[in-house]
Amino acid sequence: MTHPVIVAEHVQKSFGSLRVLDGISMEVESGEVVFIMGPSGSGKSTFLRCLNHLEPIDAGRILVDGAYVGYREEAGRLYELKPKEIAKRRAEIGMVFQRFNLFPHWTALENLIQAPMRVRGLKRVEAVARAEKLLVRVGLKDKLHAYPNQLSGGQQQRVAIARALAMEPKVMLFDEPTSALDPELVTEVLTVMRDLTESGMTMVVVTHELGFARECGTRLIFMEDGRVLDDGKPAEIISNPTHARTRTFVSQVL
């Protein structure tokens, strides 16, 4: 049986007077691949950052695998955890950003082994063995000792995916992982992500790659103004959106 890996209930988030998330509720089951799309400023990336507590929420609640990421609950109230405790919980959630965020002074291999050693407590030999396997998996077995500035954008993003996988997360979050890449480099990143979907990884992906969403997604969610307007099977949402705003957006993206 599947079970919700992510539960978000009535999530609200504001930056000053701007309400960015306006009561978002959704569940993501184990093994689901959920794509989120919407116009710029709709709250997609903010919601993703709230899922792993890179952004604290103002109201509502978020649980990953049955536990709060950045909080503890006591007498019906939520209290923020200390940074070290948050880091331990965040280790269950892999995240890949638009701009790779690799450490420029470390090689691909060194980028992968730091967090497992520091957060998970792995010995260096174990972390290196895991990293080498992951770099082979993403097609970079010959780039173990290359620095980020020696890699293409697509290669850097594949290292970033491998780095997230090195923590053996329960869920992977992708924030527009191909938007910073030249068109010819997009395919190599999507190939790695396709492999993850086939392996059963639970994933939430913010993207405008509608063809990829149709092919690999179990659900497609359309957001605007911090709200969910459409939520359904990708083929149905792309071919016949129920909300007029979704229909307009899809026609412009396709």
Domain that holds residue 114: 30-43+82-253
| Mean pLDDT (the chain, rounded) | 93
Residue 119 lies in a domain: yes
Residue 110 lies in a domain: yes
Residue 15 lies in a domain: no
Residue 22 lies in a domain: no
Residue 7 lies in a domain: no
Bridge partners of residue 9, in order along the sequence: 61
Give this prediction's pTM.
Answer: 0.93
Q: Tell me the pLDDT tens digit for each residue of 79-115.
A: 889 988 888 888 899 999 988 889 999 999 999 999 9
- Does pLDDT of 252 surpass 90? no
Residue 75 lies in a domain: no
Residue 89 lies in a domain: yes
Overall average pLDDT of the 11-26 stretch: 95
- Does pLDDT of 2 surpass 70? no
As given in the structure block, the two tokens for residue 132 are 């080498």
Q: Which residues of 28-60 are buried (b: 16+ CB within 10 A; e: fewer)?
A: bebebbbbbbbbeebbbbbbbbbbbbbbebeeb
Residue 50 lies in a domain: no
Residue 183, SS3 per DSSP: helix
